[in-house]
Amino acid sequence: MSESIPFTRPTLDEQTIADVAEVLRSGWITSGPKVRAFEAALSEYFGGRRVRAFNSGTATLEVALAMLGIGAGAEVITTPLTWVATANVIVRAGARPVFVDVDPRTRNIDVERIAAAVTPATRAILPVDLAGLPVDRDRLYALAAGHGLRVVEDAAQSMGASWNGRRLGSFGDYVSFSFHANKNMTTAEGGCLVLPADADAALCERMRLQGVARDADGGMDVDVFGGKFNLTDLAAAIGLNQLRHIDAFNARRRELARRYLDQLAEAAPRLGLELPPGDFSQSNWHMFQVCLPLDRLTLTRGDFIRAMAAEGIAVGVHYPALHLFTAYRALGFVPGSFPHAERIGREIVTLPMFPALREDQVDRVCHTMIDILTRHRA
């Protein structure tokens, strides 16, 4: 068998390894000077906005909702085509997620449909940039302003992406990024929250670490029920080095995406394979996703994934429509409510994409996929 091609793999250089070793030798491995340096570097990257680092992108969303006072009786509009954490944080806050179907082309929340979902209980919109392709920020914020709503951007997948020449995170309301191991830059596990001008940064810090406020005399108080969401210096050391390379990482991803699109251009229409939008000015190409023409095939998506694995190629699924999960059906959500998200969630697969991926490996992925689909046409 040919060499295996993983679905994703982080790019970690020797300097990163050395810096992590330095933190280990220092004896200060939890939140400390490296976290402060990482937050300062992130702030510079986002044009001087205030940034706080967390141990996950999920934690950043939880804290953003809490800072906005979103809880029981509130509704938050979001997409059903995302990692389940996006909706879980709304439910855990005591609020209700209100799903809006996606645009079948971008696979992002259909901004044109949001207004119809707004009710007197709506407090915020929580959009997701699926695969790093930005939601239309102009229309999104115009709509939010028109209805008096806050925005919590789930930009977990879109680090380094932009909208009309402006880097995501350098503008907007609350903006949450993830630095999970499969993201465009990583801290192994982690994330950050970019704060708007009216946010209380000190409150954000207290909510990040059990609500504790300390005074100069060694005393402490707790005035809010916080969590345990702090980032470690070990993670921050990784993040500082990753941040220096994020633009190069994303440039490489764009090159690979072009290669994928070029390799699949002829076969896709013939096979009925649905390709992602070819956005090379704004997307960071966190993932390269295609929708399989299952109604034209004699195999299932699972069969396809196993066939690719047999050839040494890892394929992912990101994501099933989350309102169909058992926990969400228990909340009253039913099949057929969001047909575009449901259809895409059934058909979508994610192909290998990471900076160290080679052109010949992209070609092999494409040729193998085309061969499997061709042999299993109905």
- Rg value, the chain, Cα: 21
3-state helix, strand, coil in the chain (%, to 5): 40, 15, 45
Q: Report the distance separating Cα 290 and Cα 117, nearest Å.
A: 29
Which residue spans within the chain are E strands per DSSP? 51-54, 75-78, 96-99, 122-126, 150-154, 162-163, 166-167, 174-178, 191-194, 212-214, 220-222, 288-291, 348-351
Catalytic residue among 34, 52, 150, 183: 183
**Among 249, 241, 192, which residue's Cα sits nearest to residue 19?**
241
The answer to whether residues 91 and 117 touch, using CB atoms and an 8 Å cutoff, is: no
Which two structure tokens, joined as six digits, stand for 335? 């099949």
Q: Would you tell me the crossing angle of helices 233-264 and 33-45 to the nearest 10 degrees?
A: 40
228 assigned to active site: no
Phi and psi at residue 82, in whole multiples of 5°? -165, 170
Phi and psi at residue 318, in whole multiples of 5°? -140, 90
Supply the residues annotated as catalytic. Answer: 183
